[in-house]
A = this chain, B = another copy of it.
Amino acid sequence: MVSAVVLLTVERARINQVAETLSGMQGVSEVYSVGGRYDLVAIIRVKDNESLAELITNQMLLVEGIDDSETLIAFRVYSRHDLEKMFSIGM
């Protein structure tokens, strides 16, 4: 599993709508609307690097209303949970 955290700044009037669109995409596990410098944080869990490139540049970043984005690609994930299993079961 390859993971990434995407920090997003969104047009104020579209925060809910963008969050819903993103969270409906295959590979986007969850989207947080947050306080602070960013508006949304999306967590991505896909099977390999190629799927990550595809999801981010061909789908996510084309959503209207996104002003700015910064993708933090994960080297490693540390967790007591078996995330890989949980999220494939959950899907």
Query: A residues touching B (Cβ–Cβ < 8 Å)?
Result: 2-5, 12-13, 15-16, 19-20, 22-24, 29-38, 41, 43, 49, 52-53, 56-58, 61-62, 66, 69-83, 86-87, 90-91
Residues of B within 8 A of A5 (CB): 5, 32, 34, 41
Q: Are B3 and A78 in contact (CB under 8 A)?
A: no
Taking the full assembly, how many copies of this chain does it contain?
A: 10
User: A66 → chain B, closest Cβ, in Å?
Assistant: 7
Q: Are B33 and A74 in contact (CB under 8 A)?
A: yes
For A37, A69, A78, the residue with the greatest tally of chain B CB atoms inside 10 Å of its CB is: A78
Q: Are B29 and A79 in contact (CB under 8 A)?
A: yes
Q: Are A78 and B36 in contact (CB under 8 A)?
A: no
